A and B are shown apart, each in its own frame.
Chain A
């Protein structure tokens, strides 16, 4: 959206600059006197050019550069020539001028108000997105302006391959008339309700067709009336294969576009003939305040039951609410109560409206804090330090990142795992569980991929329960995993020792026991830096999980009884030693900020995989020195003697490249060599990450005969295959 920007040159001598320019001064130009001299005036060599600065800019190259750029419209290259400095210097002048407030970008008041309202609507109703068009542009009808606004928003909301359900109404038709997106492929538009009498121009069929044409989509109509004479007729029609096919398409919709109808006396709903007036009276008497896709809702957004319910053919409110992106386009003061109801009911998560309506919705819901802000002078938006306060990530909706990842995982690794009961939060190995075998259930929070789900498959874990980012799954999916993994011989739970995981897995174990599934638990505690050896049981489980899961999975796959599986897993845990080092923090998708800080020249030895405190924070050293201090700690605990054999895992926390991991491995191998300890097997890569944390961990599994055999036992998972 084009923003009207106004540059403000703010400087002690700005008035004198303007004095030279009065004739050309743009009418929006505003100035503000400032007595504060900028702090960095004497910084660096910038001032060396002061001789060449034309008098009217004082001694300030920043103001000069800004003037040439914003007022004279010169490019940075041209400015560099004019000022006799490099392009890079011009670039830094312009950036610093923004930071210092010499240049401020402000927004034209009406647009600012609509942005403020949009932000407040988004916050107040927890919307994914909100677009509010200014109300004071009365040159064309609101319906048209909403259509244009939605046309601007749709390219951001729709993606190739989408199935878009479309309800009917004047506003929806306007969206179709104003939208033209040629870049989308494989789109399907499906009519959200049955058809109506064509006494008006915005019938469901025409709305769907208009939207389909505007986004180059295949159009699927619902070829039945929206309201039929009887519920028996509805049943018969819905039994038709053709309609079933159309409803299947509707059921696949991942976006929906709809308007809203108020039930006020002047509403077009009365004139449309869509509903019989007798029925309408019933719904009104029952408290209906609006109509969403042919369904009635009350002021709190709850469905209102009535005589048309089982005679209506079209999307239900429940179906609507299950769709990922629910775009509501509507405006007009008469629609405020209905819109508020729809937002309270959670029917929309994207709202496109105008400022007056948006303001009305907020006031109707008791939000008055906005009034003061809107009546103030346009606030200058300070943008300066936004640079580098957020980490860049590949994201769609940060609140959906786990679901979207799991959708990708299930598609990518369908050969190894599949959802239990349709939920991606509980995944079971294909060909994993079998009768007579102990089931292995692992799990934990997300953000550690490929841990834990990458180790599900035949010969390793039978099922995985998946939580939110760095957050334990609840008991329910864990219980489902236990049931799916159970082969009648009991189930082994193996997971990291964290308070949240312990609470949830313990509850799940109790519930599973009540269902007759015997459960044994091994908590992994391989992080030797997390607490002293006297408190071994209090330690955290980290990347060494990889070895412990592998041993447990092999023991289960070999058909050992539950007690033996548990015992050998405990042994693997006791003989696995991990120390991690973090160089940079990780950042959460929902905040896109670092969740703690590590100084520019520092590292933290022993940091956990969620950023838990380590043993020491010290100046960063060479790769070999870091490896040595890790290995010294491991050797202190691991009582290995010459001739012993180990398995080695060099694991990236997410942000450290393979190149550096090989440096670490090289030194680990040298240290083991020097003690005549043999490396039976090694793995180097991303095995248990911490989002984008920069850092790595070293895990050593001290092998014996039994562990060696189990380590080499075949398995087939997405991230570990041994044949």
Chain B
């Protein structure tokens, strides 16, 4: 059975931060079409602060996720800070004390993140939010595992479903948050939260896949 080691995998969070910071302008640009236009700047600020605290340290994945979650939760504000903060701290909690992370632990982590977000936010699939990326990605991962695919193949399925989920927001009308005010005008534009969530899930899963043994 494939697993990856929790120890020293904190570097995955650093590369996560790098991807978010690289996409800062892009995320703000798509946010600007139907939102405030500050998603990229705020995300880059939070992920950058977490990366500063983690760099040059060897941490477990769960420790690094906890640092990231705490920074987002306590220092970013708005709705995205608490929502992503909740997701990452839930991720961290489920991996804490798991030395070798297998598909079951990874799935447990993802579910905890989703439940954490749903415990403080009210979005459902189809509302044009990050849930449209996260929920189908988890479903695809679980589906792949239960149909006998390897951890590695399931991670690929997760990434593909996250990106498809992100793309699905283009055809959705925003039901929640400030973009909901635009009604039909929010059609044809990606949701910024769904887009950042796809970046996060992809980088996390690529990091996990490259460490599988």
List the interface of chain A (C-beta within 8 A of B).
122-126, 302, 398-399, 445, 467-476, 499-500, 503-504, 507, 511, 588, 590-591, 593, 595-597, 610-613
Contacts and interface: CB of A to CB of B under 8 A. Distances in A.
B181 A591 contact: no
B77 A473 contact: yes
B25 A124 contact: yes
Interface of B: 24-26, 28-29, 32, 36-38, 40-42, 44, 55, 73-79, 81-83, 120-122, 178, 181-182, 185
B77 A507 contact: no
A399 B182 contact: no
A126 B25 contact: yes
B173 to A, nearest CB: 14
Nearest to B176: A499
Contacts of A588: 36-37
A500 to B, nearest CB: 4
B78 A468 contact: yes
Contacts of B26: 123
9 contacts: A123-B25, A126-B25, A399-B41, A474-B81, A590-B36, A595-B36, A611-B178, A611-B181, A612-B181
Contacts of B28: 590
Nearest to B183: A596
B32 A474 contact: no
Report the 3 A-B pairs with minimum CB-CB distance, sorted nearest first. A474-B77, A590-B37, A471-B78
Contacts of B44: 126
Given A126-B25, A596-B181, A591 B74 contact: no
Contact of A467 (B40, B78, B82, B120): B78
Given A123-B29, A499-B121, A590-B36, A596 B182 contact: yes
Contacts of A590: 28, 32, 36-38
Contact of B77 (A125, A500, A591): A500
B115 to A, nearest CB: 16
Interface of B is mostly: helix
Contact of B79 (A398, A473, A503, A595): A503
Given A474-B75, A591-B37, 18 more contacts: A123-B26, A123-B29, A126-B25, A126-B44, A445-B78, A467-B77, A468-B42, A475-B73, A476-B74, A476-B75, A499-B121, A499-B122, A500-B77, A503-B83, A588-B36, A590-B32, A591-B32, A596-B182
Nearest to B86: A503
A593 B25 CA distance: 18
Contacts of B38: 399, 468-469, 471, 590
Nearest to B78: A471
Nearest to A398: B37
Contacts of B29: 123
A99 B186 CA distance: 26
B78 A500 contact: yes
Given A470-B178, A473-B77, A507 B82 contact: yes
A169 B76 CA distance: 39
B24 A126 contact: yes
A590 B77 CA distance: 18
A507 B78 CA distance: 13
A588 B178 CA distance: 12
A604 B24 CA distance: 35
A248 B77 CA distance: 33
Contact of B81 (A122, A302, A504): A504
B36 A475 contact: no
A125 B181 CA distance: 31
B180 to A, nearest CB: 8
Contacts of A470: 36, 178
A595 B178 contact: yes
B74 A475 contact: yes
Contacts of B182: 595-596
Contacts of B76: 474
